[in-house]
C-alpha cells in the first residue's frame, strides 16, 4: 500500500531558524527530545525523525498495478488525501452490497441474505462490470474478489483471512513507503465453520438502492474518514456509470460518526434512517458501531463496516444484518505477534486504548505472542481523554520490555511523545502500532503536539 507523504523538511528548517533567532541563545528554549540541541525541529517543536522506526500493522492489499490505479481514483475523488487506509475496503463494501441487491432483485432487507454468498464460492469476478455480466447471464452464485483482496466471509459476515501492510515511520515522521512489506493471516478453523446467520426482519425496498455512510469526519479516528469516503464515492460513481443497480442510479447520503466521546453517531443514524437508506457503510470505530448497531439492525437496515476489527462483533446478535470486510483482530493480533517475534523480541509491554477495539486487540496480541513463546510483561489500558500519559508510560518503562506496543487512535501521538520524553521512544527501544495509529495523520498530530 502506498501511503501519502507531505514535504515538511523545508517548513521545519524555516521554523527552526526563526525559533533560534527569537530565542537569542536562551538554553531554556532549546527543542526537547533525545539528541543534542542542534537537532532540527518539526512545525510543532518535536525533533525530526522522532517517530523513525515505529512499525505496525494495518489491513491493506499488497501493492499491485490495480491497487495503484484504484488509489489514483481515490486521489481524483479527494485530492487532499494523506492516507489510503480502509479506502479499498470501503469501495468493496459498496460493491458487495450492490451485487447482493442485484442478485436478490430488491434493495429491501432480503438483499442482506445474499451478502455472504456474494463474497465466497461460485464463479469469480473482480469488477462491477464482470460480476454484473454474470448476474445478467443468470449466474447467481458469484465470488467477488475486490480491490482489498478476496472477500471470503464466514457465516457471521466477516472475513476468514486478511492481508496486512507492515508500515514503518521514516525520518520525516511519515510512513516510509520503501520499507512497507506485506503479510497474510488466517482466522482459526473454528471461525471458518460458523453457519450463515439468518436474516430477521421484513423491511421492503422501493427499487432504488440508497447507501448512507457513518464515517469519521471528526473525532479520534478522523484521519480514516477521507479515504473511506473516497472509496465509497469511487464505487458509486463506477456503478452508476455502468447503469446503476436494478436499472437505477445508486443514491448516497453522507454523515459523520464522530467518536464515543460524543452523540454524533446516534444523531447521524437517526437522520440516515429517516432518509430511508437501505444500507449504512460504517462505522470505522468498533465502539461507535456497538453504540448504534441495535438501532440500525432494528430498523431492518444493513450495516457494513470497512474498518471494524473488534472480536466483540464476531458474535454480536445482529439479526443477520451486520457485515465487515476488515479482518477481525483475532487475525491482526496473530500477524503483529509474528512480526514482533520475527524481529527478534522476546517480551513486550502493551499500552492500549480502553475500549472494545483496544482491549480486544490487546487480548488477541497477548494470546498469540504468548502461544508463540513470547512474554507480555505488562498491559495498561488507558483513557484517551486523559490530560497526561505520564503514569501509563512510566509503568511500561519500569517493566523494562524488549519492545512496547501502542494500540490506539489519534491520542497515540501524545503517548509516543511521552515515551520519547521518558526515554522509551522509537529511538530508544522498538515501538509497534496497529491500524488505529499507523498513518501519516499520526505524524502530523505528533508534530502539532496534539
Where does residue 72 rank: exposed (0-12), middle (13-18), buried (19+ CB within 10 A)? exposed
CB contact at 8 A, 186 and 166:
no
Q: State the pLDDT at residue 122.
A: 92
The count of other CB atoms within 10 Å of the CB of residue 391 is 11
Q: Is 434 exposed, middle or buried (0-12, 13-18, 19+ CB in 10 A)?
A: buried
Instruction: Say which CATH superfamily domain 9-61+165-183+330-448 falls into.
Output: Response regulator (3.40.50.2300)
DSSP for 147-216? TTEE--B-TTSSBSEEEEEEEEB-TTSSB-GGG-EEEEEE--HHHHTPPPPPP---PPP-SS-EEEEEE-
Residue 405 belongs to what H/E stretch? strand 403-407
Q: Which residues pair with 322 in a beta bridge?
A: 303
Instruction: Check for a shared fold between 9-61+165-183+330-448 and 81-157+197-327.
Output: yes
Weakly modelled stretches of the chain, pLDDT under 50: 1-45
**Ranges of each domain in the chain:** 9-61+165-183+330-448, 81-157+197-327
Of 121, 122, 125, 104, which Cα lies nearest the Cα of 113? 104
**In the block, residue with C-alpha cell 437522520:** 271
Question: Could you give phi then psi for residue 115, rounded to 5 degrees?
Answer: -65, -50
Beta strands in 247-346 (DSSP E): 251-256, 279-282, 302-305, 322-324
Q: CATH classification of 81-157+197-327 is 3.40.50, yes or no?
A: yes
Pair type for strands 161-168 and 123-125: unpaired
Q: What is the dihedral of CA 361, 365, 367, 373, to 10 degrees?
A: 180
Residue 432, judged by CB atoms within 10 A of its CB (0-12, 13-18, 19+), counts as: buried
Say whether the peptide bond before residue 90 is cis (omega within 30 degrees of 0).
no
Grid coordinates given for 164: 496486512
Give tens-digit pLDDT for 266-298.
Answer: 999 999 999 999 999 999 999 999 999 999 999
Q: What is the pLDDT of residues 295-343, one digit of tens each?
A: 999 999 999 999 999 989 999 999 999 999 999 999 999 999 999 999 9
Amino acid at each position: 500500500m502506498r501511503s501519502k507523504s507531505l514535504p515538511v523538511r523545508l517548513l521545519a528548517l524555516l521554523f527552526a531558524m526563526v525559533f533560534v533567532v527569537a530565542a537569542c541563545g536562551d538554553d531554556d528554549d532549546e527543542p526537547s527530545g533525545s539528541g543534542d540541541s542542534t537537532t532540527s525541529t518539526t512545525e510543532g517543536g518535536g525533533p525530526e525523525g522522532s517517530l523513525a522506526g515505529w512499525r505496525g500493522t494495518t489491513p491493506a492489499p499488497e501493492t499491485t498495478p490495480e491497487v495503484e490505479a484504484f488509489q489514483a481514483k481515490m486521489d481524483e475523488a479527494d485530492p487532499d488525501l494523506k492516507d489510503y487506509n480502509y479506502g479499498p475496503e470501503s469501495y468493496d463494501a459498496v460493491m458487495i452490497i450492490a451485487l447482493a441487491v442485484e442478485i436478490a432483485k430488491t434493495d429491501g432487507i432480503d438483499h442482506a441474505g445474499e451478502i455472504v454468498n456474494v463474497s465466497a464460492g461460485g464463479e469469480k469476478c473482480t469488477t462491477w462490470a464482470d460480476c454484473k455480466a454474470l448476474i445478467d447471464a443468470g449466474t447467481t452464485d458469484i465470488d467477488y474478489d475486490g480491490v482489498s483482496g478476496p472477500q471470503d466471509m464466514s457465516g457471521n459476515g466477516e472475513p476468514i483471512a486478511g492481508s496486512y501492510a507492515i508500515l514503518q515511520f521514516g525520518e520525516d515522521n511519515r510512513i516510509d513507503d520503501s520499507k512497507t512489506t506485506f503479510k497474510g493471516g488466517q482466522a482459526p478453523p473454528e471461525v471458518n465453520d460458523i453457519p450463515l446467520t439468518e436474516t430477521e426482519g421484513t423491511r421492503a425496498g422501493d427499487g432504488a438502492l440508497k447507501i448512507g455512510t457513518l464515517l469519521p469526519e471528526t473525532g479520534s479516528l478522523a484521519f480514516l474518514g477521507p479515504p473511506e469516503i473516497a472509496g465509497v464515492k469511487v464505487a458509486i460513481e463506477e456503478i452508476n456509470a455502468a447503469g446503476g443497480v436494478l436499472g437505477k442510479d445508486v443514491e448516497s447520503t453522507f454523515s459523520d460518526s464522530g467518536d464515543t466521546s460524543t452523540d454524533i453517531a446516534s444523531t447521524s443514524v437517526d437522520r440516515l434512517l429517516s432518509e430511508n437508506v437501505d444500507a449504512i457503510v460504517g462505522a470505522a470505530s468498533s465502539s461507535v458501531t456497538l453504540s448504534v448497531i441495535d438501532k440500525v439492525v432494528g430498523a431492518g437496515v444493513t450495516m457494513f463496516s470497512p474498518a471494524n476489527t473488534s472480536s466483540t462483533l464476531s458474535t454480536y446478535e445482529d439479526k443477520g444484518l451486520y457485515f465487515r470486510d476488515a479482518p477481525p483482530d483475532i487475525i491482526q493480533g496473530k500477524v503483529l505477534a509474528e512480526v514482533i517475534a520475527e524481529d527478534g523480541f522476546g517480551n513486550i509491554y502493551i499500552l492500549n486504548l480502553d475500549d472494545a477495539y483496544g482491549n480486544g486487540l490487546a487480548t488477541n496480541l497477548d494470546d498469540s505472542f504468548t502461544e508463540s513463546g513470547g512474554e507480555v510483561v505488562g498491559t495498561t489500558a488507558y483513557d484517551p481523554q486523559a490530560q497526561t500519559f505520564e503514569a501509563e508510560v512510566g509503568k511500561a518503562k519500569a517493566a523494562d520490555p524488549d519492545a512496547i506496543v501502542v494500540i490506539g487512535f489519534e491520542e497515540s501521538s501524545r503517548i509516543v511523545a511521552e515515551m520519547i520524553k521518558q526515554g522509551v521512544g522509537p529511538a530508544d527501544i522498538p515501538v509497534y502500532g496497529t491500524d488505529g495509529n499507523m498513518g501519516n495523520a499520526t505524524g502530523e498530530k505528533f508534530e502539532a503536539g496534539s
